Structure 1
Amino acid sequence: MEKKLGLVPKLILAIIVGILIGQFTPLGFVRVFKTFSTFFGSFLSFFIPLMIVGFVVSGIAKLTEGAGKLLGLTAVISYVSTLLAGTFSYIIASTFYPKLVSGISSSLDFTGKDVNPYFSIPLKAPFDVTVAIVFAFMTGITISYMRNQGKGETTFTLFSEFEEIITRVLAGFVIPLLPFHILGIFAELTYSGVVFTVIGVFLKIYLCIFAIHYVYMLIMFSIAGGLSKKNPFTLIKNQLPAYFTAVGTQSSAATIPVNIQSGLKNGTSPEIVNFVVPLCATIHLSGSMITLTSCIMGILILNGMPFSLGLMVPFIAMLGIAMVAAPGAPGGAVMAALPFLFMIGIDADGALGSLLIALYITQDSFGTAINVSGDNAIAIYVDEFYKRYIKKSIVTYKTNNLS
C-alpha cells in the first residue's frame, strides 16, 4: 500500500522549493507562482465568509446538545482554558519577542517588492466578514434555542449539510493546493530578500512555543493533581501515548480512542472520560491557541505592527469561539482564524496571512498534542465536580427514597 506524504512534509518541501526558486530563478519564473498565489488568495477572501457561516452556525447549534450541568461546566472550563492559554502566550510573546527581532522589523517588506502576477481574477466575497459573523452567531444561537423547544431540526440539518460542503471544499481543494500557495509566497519572499531573516527569527519563536506548551500542560495537570490528590507527573506520564498519537495524526478527533484510554489510566470515571474527551476534542484548543497567538505575535512584531493587549484580547476571545467550529483536519484551527485576522490588522488573503498559515501548520501537530492532553486534565476537573456534587446527590437521593 502506497504511503501518502503528509501535509507537514509537503509544506516543508514547498518552503524549500520556494526558497530555491526565489534564490536561483529569474523574475519571470517567480511571477508564475506569484500569479497562482494571487488567485489562491482571492479565492480565500471569497471563501472565508462562507467558512464562518458553514462552521460557526453549526458549531454553536451543536453545543447545546447533551446535558445539563456537565455540558455547561465542560464548555466553560474549555473556553476559559483556551483564553488563558492565548493570554499566557501573548504575555510571553510581548515580553520576549521584541528582543528576538530587535533591529530587524524596520528593514523588512512583506509585500513582495518587484514581484507582480501576470494576471489576476477578480473574485469578490458574497458578503463581508462582519456580516458573516453577525449572521452566524445570530442564526446559531436561534437554532440552538429552537431545538431546545423541539423545533428547528430542518434548519439545523440545512446548516449541518452546508458545513459538510465547506469541509469538503476545504479538504478537497484548499488544503491540497495550500503547499503550492506557500511555495509561491516563499519564492516571493526569497526574491525580495527577507526569507532567511524570517526563518531565523521563527526558529527562535518555535522554541518559545514549545516551552509555553509544556509549561501550560504542567500547570493544567498540576491543578488536576491538586484536585484529585494524584501526582501530576504520573498523570502526564499516562498522557504520553495520546500525546504522541496526536503528534502523528495532527487530529484531536483521530486521537480520541487513545486519549480515552489515557483518561481511564488516570482513574477518571469512565462515564466522564467518555463524555468529556470527545466533547473537548472539538471545543478545547489551548495548544492551538498558544501556537496561533505566538505565530501571530511574531508576524506583528516582525512587521512593526501594533500588538497591544487591548487589540489582542478581543481577538483571542473571538478566536476561542471560532475555533470550536474548526474542522478536524490538519490546519483547521488556522483556517478558522483567518476570518478574524482583520481585527488585528492582518490581511487574511495577503502575504502575512499566507505566512501565518505556513508557520502555524508546520507546528500544528504539537499544538494538537497539547489540546488532547488538556482534554484529560479537564476530564479530571469535571470528574471531581461530578463525584463531589452530582453523583453524591444522586446517591443521597436514592438512599433517602429507599429508606
Structure 2
Amino acid sequence: MQKFGLLPRLILAIVLGIALGAYAPEFIVRILVTFNGIFGSFLGFIIPLIILGFIAPGIGELGARAGKMLGITAGLAYASTIIAGTLAFFVSSLVLPQMIEVGSFLTSGIADAEAANVKPIIELAFPPIMGVMTALLLAFTLGLGIAAIQGDTLRKFMNDFQEIVKKVITNVIIPLLPIHIMGIFANMTYGGKTAMILSVFAKVFVMIVLLHITYLLIQYTVAGSVAGANPFRLIKTMLPAYFTAIGTQSSAATIPVTLRQTKRNGINEDVADFAVPLCATIHLSGSTITLVSCAMAVMLLNDMPTTFTAMFPFILMLGVTMVAAPGVPGGAVMAALGLLESMLMFDPTLTALMIALYLAQDSFGTAGNVTGDGALATIINRISGHKLEKVSEEV
C-alpha cells in the first residue's frame, strides 16, 4: 500500500464509498459512520497538537538562522503566499458561482446531519486539551522564546514533539483518511447526494490547476524582470522539480531536485543552498491557492458568507500557520484544519469534504510550491547582489 499513492487510494475510497452507499445494507454504512465519528473526534483532539508541533519549532528554527537575508526571504515568501491566496479568492468569487449552485448543500440536505438517517453505533468524544487560538498563541510564544534564549533544551523538546506529531500524521491520520472519506461518500450516497459532490470536485479541480499555472507565470515574469532573464527559460529548467513534486507530494522530499534545478538556472550556489530549503518550509503559494479555492467552494455550496473581509484574515493566518508544515502528503490541510473550524466555522462534514477536495489535487499544490521557490530564489539572488550565471542548457 505504501507504493499505492495517496491520490489513487483517495479515488478508490470514493469509488468504494459510492458502491457501499448504493448497495450495502444500512448496518455497513453505520459502521463507517461510527468510524467517521471517532476519527473526526480524534482529528479535533490532534489539531491543537499539530499547530503546536508545527509552528513553535518552525519559528524557533527561523530565529536560529537569523541573518540579513532571512527577513527578506521570509518577507518575500509570506507576501507571495498572501498574494496567491488573494488571487484565489477573487478568481473563486468570480468563477465558482458560475460553476456551482450556491446553497445546494442546504437544499440537498448534505449540511444536515439528520438527512442521511444513518446513526453511528457508538459515539466517543476526545476533547482537545486546548482551543485552536490558545494553541496558536502558545506556539508563537514558545517559538519566539526558543529563538530569543537560544537554549537547546526546549528546542530539542519541541523538535522531538514535532517528530511525534509527524509520526501521528504519517502513520495514523494519512493512512486512515481514505477510510474516513469512504465513509463520508457512503453516507452521502446512501442519502442520494453524491452526483452533485463529484461534479463540484471536477470543476474546482480544473480551476485550481489553472490558477497554479497562472500564478507560476506571474512569479517567473517578476523574477525574470528582476534578474534580467527569460522567464520561460527559467520555468523550463524548473520542470523536473515540478513533476517530482507531483510524485512525492512533499516539498521537503523534492528539495534535492529543486536545489539542483535552481542552480542550473544560474543562481549563486550559496544563495540557492540558503533559499531553497527555507522556502520549502515557509513558501506555500500553491497550497494556499488550493486551500482558499476549496474553502470558497465548500462555503458557497453551504451558502456561507464569502466576503473579502471574512476571507482575508483567514488568508493572512494561512501564511503563518503552515510554516514548517511537515513534508508529508496532506500536511498543509492538516495544519489549516484549526483555522477552518475557528475562523470559517466548518463543521465535521464540511471539514471532511474540504480534506477530500484538497487531497484530490495535493500533488499539484505541492508542485506549485516548489516551482515557485525557484522564482523566489532568483529574486533573492538579485537582491543579494549576484547576477545569474550562465544558464545550463541541461534540464
State the TM-score bracket (shorter-chain normalisation): over 0.9
Shift of 1:3: 6.8
Shift of 1:130: 2.0
Pairing 1:376–2:374 present = yes
Per mean C-alpha deviation after superposition, the further-off stretch among 53-62 and 278-287 is 53-62
Shift of 1:65: 2.3
Q: Deviations over 1:272-327 (max 9, x none)?
A: 11111111111100000001111111000011111111111111111111111311
**What corresponds to 1:89 in structure 2?**
88
How far apart are the structure 1 equivalents of 2:274 and 2:32? 47
Shift of 1:225: 0.8
How far apart are the structure 2 equivalents of 1:39 and 1:243? 37
**What corresponds to 2:164 in structure 1?**
165
How far apart are the structure 2 equivalents of 1:309 and 1:356? 20
How far apart are the structure 2 equivalents of 1:201 and 1:254? 31
> Residues 225 and 247 from structure 1, CA distance in 2 versus in 1: closer, same or farther, beyond 3 angstroms?
same
Give the structure-1-normalised TM-score: 0.92
How far apart are the structure 2 equivalents of 1:142 and 1:109? 48
**What corresponds to 2:343 in structure 1?**
343
Which letter maps to 2:309?
Answer: G
**What corresponds to 1:175 in structure 2?**
174
Pairing 1:364–2:362 present = yes
Shift of 1:203: 0.8
Shift of 1:26: 2.5
Per mean C-alpha deviation after superposition, the further-off stretch among 78-87 and 250-259 is 250-259
> Residue 212 of structure 2 contacts residue 289 of structure 2 at CA under 8 Å; is this kept in 1?
yes
How far apart are the structure 2 equivalents of 1:108 and 1:79? 39
Secondary structure of 1:118's partner?
coil
> Residue 49 of structure 1 contacts residue 132 of structure 1 at CA under 8 Å; is this kept in 2?
yes
How far apart are the structure 2 equivalents of 1:193 and 1:100? 21
Pairing 1:108–2:108 present = yes
**What corresponds to 1:72 in structure 2?**
71
Shift of 1:109: 2.4
% of aligned pairs identical?
Answer: 47
**What corresponds to 1:401 in structure 2?**
none
Shift of 1:364: 0.3
**What corresponds to 2:127 in structure 1?**
124
Shift of 1:96: 1.2
Per mean C-alpha deviation after superposition, the further-off stretch among 158-167 and 366-375 is 158-167
**What corresponds to 1:17 in structure 2?**
16
Pairing 1:385–2:380 present = no
Shift of 1:244: 0.6
Structure 1 runs, 4 residues or longer, greater than 4 Å off: none
Shift of 1:108: 2.8
Q: Which has the larger radius of gyration?
A: 1
Q: Deviations over 1:332-364 (max 9, x none)?
A: 0000000111201112xx111111111111100
How far apart are the structure 2 equivalents of 1:279 and 1:17? 40
> Residue 282 of structure 1 contacts residue 325 of structure 1 at CA under 8 Å; is this kept in 2?
yes
Provide the aligned C-alpha RMSD in A.
Answer: 1.5
How far apart are the structure 1 equivalents of 2:142 and 2:65? 20
Which letter maps to 1:343?
Answer: M
**What corresponds to 1:400 in structure 2?**
none
Query: How is 1:296-307 mapped onto 2 (pairs within 5 angstroms)?
Result: 296-307=295-306
> Residue 268 of structure 2 contacts residue 386 of structure 2 at CA under 8 Å; is this kept in 1?
no
Shift of 1:9: 0.8
Give the structure-2-normalised TM-score: 0.94
How far apart are the structure 2 equivalents of 1:192 and 1:82? 39
Secondary structure of 2:322's partner?
helix
**What corresponds to 1:144 in structure 2?**
147
Shift of 1:117: 0.5
